[in-house]
Amino acid sequence: MNDRQLWDQGLRCIERMLADLAPVKRQRLSELLAGYRQEKETLAAIALQIDSGTTCRECAGQCCLNGKYRINVFDLLSHCAADLTVLPDFEQKPLCPYGTARGCVMEAGFRPSDCILFICDALDRQLPDSARFALSMTEKALRECLHTASRLLGVPLATPLLLWAEKNKIPINP
């Protein structure tokens, strides 16, 4: 099965998961997703304070290579719950299928958690201690949100979507 087929079947499974949620779980999930997006936006804002845009342009996005496994189940669930469509281009190897020559196609709150958590050495050298502490606390909150949502749904939501779809042999319904 190719990456596009795995993506499509993972997406269908997530859509079914959302459709089948009891109202109480749906409300709690909505709260967790809002918190998840907020924590990622906070992490991105910290990186922007040290001019990550310039550093990343100079680097040409080396951290964005081979990114097909970066989006996890919860990241895509976040897109689905917000009624956003992601159209990955798995043909642009080794570039990330979720990006373009101008960068990520996703807003910060919807980017894969692996991407938003990553701080390269060049950025790390520019971080003041206060930002390091804020990053650490925000990362902890982000991971706790993921853990709580995984318990709520009974699904390992931090698992990369393509691996999850392949492992679970999600049936394809036409």
Q: Is 49 a domain residue?
A: yes
Work out the number of other CB atoms within 10 angstroms of the CB of residue 172.
Answer: 11
List, for residues 36-78, the tens digit of each pLDDT value.
999 999 988 888 888 777 887 787 777 887 788 899 999 999 9
Total of domains in the chain: 1
Q: Of residues 31 and 171, which shows the higher confidence score?
A: 31
Measured at the alpha carbon of residue 46, what is the angle toward residues 42 and 49, in degrees to the nearest 5?
135
pLDDT band at 174 (very low <50, low <70, confident <90, very high): very low
Q: Is 59 a domain residue?
A: yes
Q: Is 66 a domain residue?
A: yes
Q: Is the pLDDT of residue 16 over 70?
A: yes
Over residues 155-172, mean pLDDT: 83
Q: Is the pLDDT of residue 27 over 70?
A: yes
* C-alpha span between 41 and 23 (Å, rounded): 27
Over residues 10-26, mean pLDDT: 94
135: containing domain: 3-166
Task: Specify the pLDDT at position 170.
Answer: 53
Mean pLDDT taken over the chain: 88
Q: Hey, which residues does 160 pair with through a beta bridge?
A: 72
Q: Is 96 a domain residue?
A: yes
Q: Is 17 a domain residue?
A: yes
Task: Specify the pLDDT at position 31.
Answer: 97
Q: Are 13 and 20 in contact (CB under 8 A)?
A: no
* C-alpha span between 11 and 161 (Å, rounded): 9
